[in-house]
Structure 1
Amino acid sequence: MRTLLFSFFLLSLISISCESGKKDKKLNSRVGFSQKMADFDCGAFCDPPSVTYQLPADSSCVNSSQNVMNCFAWKNFLALNWLASDQRGVPDTAAVAADYGMPGDYKPTVWESYLSIDDVFASKPPAQWNLRSKNGYMKYINEINKFTDINASLPKPKLKAMLGGNVDEIMQAKGAWLTDQSGNIVWYEIRMNTIESDFVRDNKLYNYGSLSAFAAQNQGVWFPMESIEIKAAWRIIPEDQLESLKNFYKISMAMVPEIEGFDKNNKPIYGKYSQKYLGLVGLHIIRKTNQSPQFTWMTFEHVNNAPTDGKVDPSVKYCFYDPKSTDKPNQSPVPGKDSLNKPVQVVRIADNAISPEIQQLNKQIQNMIKASNPKSVWQYYQLVNVQWPENPVKDKDNNKKAPLMTGGITPKNIANVTMETYIQEKQCMDCHKNASVGDQKYPTDYSFIFLKVKPKLEK
């Protein structure tokens, strides 16, 4: 039976494309479905992944091997993409696995109920979570670059000192964008779980004076354990394609602005907002635990984003790759020169190819999701890689000035084609170890979110 399911899954996966797809045949589903532990190489003492709202604990098996961490990543992905409840950051425990990822269900997931970076760093208290409002929950999204949390207006010498290397490259060519093969740009958002956002709000770290004083007093800003940051990449789902694409993407509704141009700093000038349907194409999950104080860095993508260089599947219509294009892959557009609507040719570089072990795990998890709910959109997502510290360093033992220690972070090849499109040769810690605040370079726990806090916002 398992062989039959696997064969059927491969056939159905090949049939889907970025633009359309056929409905899957129904399979028996059941609540809380999981495969036997023997099916997963997750370590002798680790529970295998299952379709559940329960976030995995930082157990004794974490940080023992790459395969264990791959399973840990999938368990985080499954839980954080459960439907949210009426309480921010809390799953809807009345929802069942048989409905997990139902097409056309636009309600927010657990991570989508987290506060956005704009809410966290607003001077006024963020609005209450209101899933049951008259119009339902509607988020606003206004970032066209995954790196917009790094302040592009900072002087180049300071950026180079903080980040190292080619600043323009790290900044994705001064805030450039990614356009899919339909001619629509990708939108990004950053969110923090309640533990992290409460820490920022309670200590008034949205205020530059408070942030500087706190960093000096504590020799850095160190997040509480179990802090989680999420970075997501979304593509526009054209309304005339909604009925077909809703079967293959996690889709959310959002208010999205028009882009009227760019200012002298190459930052976008936004116009009026309108409601759009967005399909999830990339998801970063970073989580700080006792055994991973340097965070566990987990990244996922939609299966049809782009091929690995030299391994194009002619049966797949990719979202960010055109086999007929003669454009050089992974070239960042230039503000003021290139059209927002010109598709960017994207490939996954060979050094970042998804490993055979992760490919096998992905197939197992996708089959498990499908067995739970044959219609689930989550069966069309894949783990790309997980980065974790083999020799973790406790906060108290870490450097008190940037750069921070990396804790023996492994592996060295990790990139999401929707978020590190133009810098796939870099890895998370190349930049994040340099995250800091103030002239003293007090570290900010591998996070660049505090670069949103600027002196000019002081009152």
Structure 2
Amino acid sequence: MQFPKFLKNVKGWALAMALSSFVAVSACTPGASDDTETLAASAVDCPNRLGWSENLPTYFAPDAKLPTSFSDTAVDCDFHEWSWEAFAWATAEIDGTPRFMTMATLDALTSDANPSGDMLRLGAHSNKPHAMPTGENAGAITEADGNMLVGGNGYPVYASVHMNDSYLKTAKANMVEGGAYAANAGKDIGAGEECGGTGNAYYFNCGSAVFKATWYRLADGEAAPAGAYTTQAQVPVLANDCTGSTCIAKSSGTFTTVTVALVGLHVVAYIENHPEMVWATFEHVRNSPSVPDGTFAYGDQSVDEDYTFYDAGTPFTKGKILVKNDSAAVLIFDEASQTFSPVTQVVQMNRTGGENQENGPANIAAVNTASMTEFANQNSPFKDYFLVGTVWFKPNVYTADNANIQNKNFNWKGIAQGSEALANMTAETFMQVPGKGDQLNCFTCHNPTSYSFETGSTEPMRRVAISHALGVGSEFEAKNTIPVEDGSSAAE
């Protein structure tokens, strides 16, 4: 039997044989598991609806609707099924373009025109330059903790944000810049609580959705990761800005057109009984090695195959993998080639995001098997992407009358369900904790304190603060820069 690269066995770590159908879909490497029968047996009830995977292609239709109907008694498998339904809907091609790429980007929050026309622009907009673990500094070239994922060719991984009309409308009505966010505090009682209702402008409505993509820039003549979706995009031309021996790499204000490959996609939407939004993340199968939840430990072990973000044989030591680079002089940037060094070596510490529900990892494995098989049957260009996991709150707790939302120490850990350590290796590369104590997930940054906890901030706490789009153009917008050492020939 053959296994996709992200399931490559590392000695002493069990692999999920429940993915046998998935394996037939993807490019392969040999592997084996000691837990085959146990894991496969536990997954027999997921997917839990007859004909569910065969129905997935209905979401490919141009007039298909984002699924929002969802029971308040839904179980773990239901959430992961929804994630795949939403992924199918988001990636469905509309006149040759994936649906999520036809949606408004962050530029639409401050302008009615897309500055790059119909072409994807991976610009400098994103939000919240706060210190972790409670804040986020996610930019087009930097991640949530201010670090940069540098691909094997030296280019950074870029990000883009895509909002449906409902999400965009609410975001524009509550922007921090201009004062609407503060002025609308206390007005979101009952906003959008019923799917299909009219809601109001003060909180997102059922059906609001946002999709966050990550893109690997290809070098001239470089082949994309096998099976990855590719497109043309404008990326910022970066420049060194140095004062004495201190330099930062930042956008020069100009752009160049390149080919990029989709390597990750967050799928986020307000569905029935879940106003906090259900958060799911997908990755390309060749991104990185991964290990079962809670079992990762730094050491001399390695994997003997190449991945997009991992070189074969790289030991899993602190000095070799997941090395952070948000401090000065860690990265070297060559302005002429637009490349950084050293490249980042990536390993996924929690294969299913620390799934905390009964049979959780097996459920995800089984839903991936069924879904990827059906995507392959339909010859979808997105057949080589897999669900890492899904995280959500208990039903109907993220409501305006929940006192916890007004708590400066808002606690997401006690109510996060499913993949409580959810991380995408191309968007939250460095936000992983080895062992079983990792509870960092999307709600770590996306919560009511987004604009209020920073020292000196006068912004109120609001549940709409789960969206970082509201900070575009304000002091909370991320600075799309990273500290570097000047690697240009002129500096030598």
2:380 is aligned with 1:380:
no
The equivalences for 1:63-74 within 5 A come to 64-74=74-84
**CA separation in 1, counterparts of 2:81 and 2:451?**
31
Q: 405, 428, 439: which is aligned to 2:458? A: 439
The equivalences for 1:369-408 within 5 A come to 369-373=375-379, 376-393=380-397, 395-399=399-403, 401=406, 403=408, 406=412, 408=415
Q: In structure 2, give the amino acid aligned to 1:57.
A: P
The equivalences for 1:33-182 within 5 A come to 41-44=46-49, 47-48=52-53, 49-51=55-57, 52-53=59-60, 54-61=64-71, 64-84=74-94, 107-120=96-109, 122=110, 124-127=111-114, 137-143=118-124, 149-152=126-129, 159=130, 175-182=146-153
Q: Which residue of 2 aligns with 1:328?
A: 320
Give the superposition deviation at 1:296: 0.2
Give the superposition deviation at 1:448: 2.0
Contact 2:67 2:85 in 1 (8 A): no
Contact 1:208 1:453 in 2 (8 A): no
Q: 1:241 to 1:294 in 2, by over 3 A?
A: same
Please state whether the residue corresponding to 2:263 is helix, strand or coil: strand
**CA separation in 2, counterparts of 1:194 and 1:169?**
23
Give the superposition deviation at 1:274: 1.4
Contact 1:81 1:109 in 2 (8 A): yes
**CA separation in 1, counterparts of 2:387 and 2:101?**
19
**CA separation in 2, counterparts of 1:312 and 1:78?**
34
Q: 1:337 to 1:405 in 2, by over 3 A?
A: closer
- RMSD of Structure 2 on Structure 1 (CA): 3.7
**CA separation in 2, counterparts of 1:169 and 1:59?**
31
Q: 1:250 to 1:40 in 2, by over 3 A?
A: farther
Q: Which residue of 2 aligns with 1:26?
A: none
Give the TM-score of the pair, scaled to structure 1: 0.72
Please state whether the residue corresponding to 1:384 is helix, strand or coil: strand
Q: In structure 2, give the amino acid aligned to 1:365.
A: S
**CA separation in 1, counterparts of 2:474 and 2:146?**
18
Give the superposition deviation at 1:179: 0.9
Once structures 1 and 2 are overlaid, which stretch shifts more, 300-309 or 260-269?
A: 260-269
Q: 170, 178, 187: which is aligned to 1:199? A: 170
Contact 1:233 1:419 in 2 (8 A): yes
Give the superposition deviation at 1:450: 1.8
Give the superposition deviation at 1:215: 2.8
Please state whether the residue corresponding to 1:383 is helix, strand or coil: strand
Q: In structure 2, give the amino acid aligned to 1:296.
A: V
Structure 1: which 5+ runs fail to align? 1-5, 17-37, 86-106, 131-136, 153-158
Runs of 4+ in 1 over 6 A off after TM superposition: 6-9, 166-171
Give the superposition deviation at 1:192: 1.2
Give the superposition deviation at 1:346: 0.8
Q: 1:71 to 1:217 in 2, by over 3 A?
A: closer
Q: Which residue of 1 aligns with 2:416?
A: 409
Contact 1:293 1:395 in 2 (8 A): yes
Q: 1:295 to 1:70 in 2, by over 3 A?
A: same
Contact 2:174 2:180 in 1 (8 A): yes
Q: 1:44 to 1:423 in 2, by over 3 A?
A: same
Aligned residues: 384
Contact 2:137 2:144 in 1 (8 A): yes
Please state whether the residue corresponding to 2:267 is helix, strand or coil: strand
Q: 361, 371, 382: which is aligned to 2:367? A: 361
**CA separation in 2, counterparts of 1:288 and 1:269?**
34
Give the TM-score of the pair, scaled to structure 2: 0.68
Q: Which residue of 1 aligns with 2:470?
A: 450
**CA separation in 1, counterparts of 2:126 and 2:469?**
6
**Structure 1 residues 240-295: Cα deviation after superposition (integer angstroms, max 9, x where no partner):** 134xx376111121111221125789562335321111101111111112311111
Q: 1:230 to 1:200 in 2, by over 3 A?
A: same
Contact 1:401 1:440 in 2 (8 A): no
**CA separation in 2, counterparts of 1:177 and 1:205?**
27
Q: In structure 2, give the amino acid aligned to 1:395.
A: T
Q: 1:337 to 1:322 in 2, by over 3 A?
A: same
2:23 is aligned with 1:10:
yes
Please state whether the residue corresponding to 2:323 is helix, strand or coil: coil
**CA separation in 1, counterparts of 2:239 and 2:48?**
52
